[in-house]
Each structure stands twice: as C-alpha cells, then as structure tokens.
C-alpha cells in the first residue's frame, strides 16, 4: 500500500499512480462497503464512488496525503453512511434479496475447517448480516469496523470523527440489538 499519495503536475503520471494505489486498496474497500451495506451491487457502486471522490479530491487539493489508507477508509464509511441513511426511506428494501444473501454466503471463508463448522460459520454470518438491518447507520459502521476489521475503539472514533465515548455507546447499543446472534455465535449452535 502506498504510504504517500499525491497529485503531480503531470495528469497522466498522476492517474497512473492513483490507479496503482487504487488496486492495492480496492478489495479492502469493497469488503468494507459490502459488510456495511450487505448488498453486492450497492457495495460495488459505493466502492466506485469512494475512489472517484478520492480522485477528485486529490485533483482539487494537489497536496500529498500522509495516510491515504485511512483517508480512503473514511471516504468509504461516509459514502456507505449516506447510502444507509437514504435507505431509511426505501421501504421496499428492508432486507437483502435472496440472491445477495446467497452471494454473501458463497463468499464466506472456504478454507479447511470441518464441513459443519463451515456451514455453521456461513449460517451465523448470514444471520448477523440480516440482523445488521436492525442497527442504525452509525451503529452498523461502528460494529462493522470493530467486528470485521478488528479496529480499536479510538481508531474507529478517529475514522468516524466521533469521540470515544460516543463510539462506545453506539457499539454497546449495537451489540445489545445483536445479542441473540452473538450469543449463538460464541456460545452455542442454535442457528
């Protein structure tokens, strides 16, 4: 991953450098969007929007970035939050489609653990994905960054532009809403 990313005077060189950096970050950003939005097509659009916003911002500012990874993560989170907030009014999409659920299931880890463990992991992932619909956009962002990306609470606060206390509150409320699924995940197999 590039440690610095900047806007050069030559546009072609600039675009090439941006494309190389984008390729290194693309999968991570797509997965973050997918985990926050739980819909492949929407995650795809959010990823595209994220990199385009980054490209435009770099063209405008012309400054080098010290932490481009963190910066683009913040753009991705805000893009997903905007999409989640706009979903509030879209009553026809209260839950992901069957097709999206099956895609998320297919994309579950598929290495070597025992077959029943894999099935269980897939089931519980789907249940958690469904249960995420119960969370507010901010709760979902905090939970996704903590649960899937294992980020520290201070780091999450920095990414979301919130103080640590607010992040803790969002996480606490989110976990409370996901209580059943998380208990099944960690302590039992009632899925």
Partner 1 sequence: MNPRPESHWTEDDFIQSFYGLKAEDEHVRSCTDCASRVQKMAAVHAEVVRPPEVPPELLAEQRRRIHQRMELISRGWHPLRWAGALAAMAALVFVLLLHRSNPPGPLNDPFFTEVSAMDQNPAPRAIQPIEALVGDDNPE
Interacting residues with partner 1 (CB under 8 A): 11, 15, 18-19, 22-23, 26-27, 30-31, 44, 47-48, 51-52, 55-56, 59, 107-111, 113, 117, 121, 124-125, 146-148, 150, 152-153, 168, 171-172, 175, 179, 182-183, 185-187
CA–centroid distance for 111 within its chain: 22
Residue closer to partner 1 by CB (options 74, 151) is 151
Structure tokens, 77: 């989170």
Residue 88 beta carbon to partner 1: minimum distance, rounded to whole angstroms: 25
Query: Closer CB to partner 1, residue 59 or residue 61?
Result: 59
Q: Least distance in Å: CB of 103 to partner 1?
A: 10
Nearer to partner 1, 94 or 115 (CB): 115
Least distance to partner 1 from the beta carbon of 14, Å?
A: 9
Place of tokens 């809403």: 177
User: How far is 184 from 174, CA to CA, in rounded Å?
Assistant: 16
Closer CB to partner 1, residue 77 or residue 146?
146
Which ranges constitute the DSSP H helices of the chain?
A: 11-37, 40-61, 68-87, 98-106, 115-131, 137-147, 153-160, 164-177, 179-187
CA atoms of 65 and 40, how far apart (whole Å): 29
Least distance from partner 1 to the Cβ atom of residue 27, Å? 5
Contact between 162 and 169 under an 8 Å Cβ cutoff? The reply is: no
CB closer to partner 1, 94 vs 109: 109
Give per-residue burial for 14-48: e unless 16+ CB within 10 Å, then b: beebbeebbeebeebbbbbbbbbbbbbebbeebbe
CB of 62 to partner 1, least distance (A): 15
């Amino acid at each position: 991953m590039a440690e610095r990313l900047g806007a050069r005077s030559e546009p072609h060189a600039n675009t090439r450098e941006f494309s190389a950096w984008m390729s290194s970050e693309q999968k991570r950003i797509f997965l973050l969007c997918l985990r926050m939005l739980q819909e492949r097509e929407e995650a795809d659009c959010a990823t595209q929007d994220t990199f385009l916003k980054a490209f435009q911002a770099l063209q405008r500012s012309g400054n080098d970035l010290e932490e481009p990874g963190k910066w683009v993560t913040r753009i991705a989170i805000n893009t997903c939050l905007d999409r989640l907030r706009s979903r509030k009014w879209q009553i026809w999409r209260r839950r992901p489609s069957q097709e999206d659920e099956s895609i998320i299931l297919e994309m579950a880890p598929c290495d070597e653990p025992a077959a029943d463990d894999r099935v269980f992991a897939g089931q519980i992932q789907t249940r958690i994905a469904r249960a995420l619909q119960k969370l507010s956009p901010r709760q979902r962002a905090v939970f996704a960054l903590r649960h899937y990306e294992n980020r520290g609470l201070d780091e999450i606060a920095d990414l979301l532009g919130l103080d640590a206390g607010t992040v803790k509150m969002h996480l606490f409320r989110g976990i409370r809403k996901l209580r059943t699924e998380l208990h099944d995940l960690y302590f039992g197999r009632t899925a």
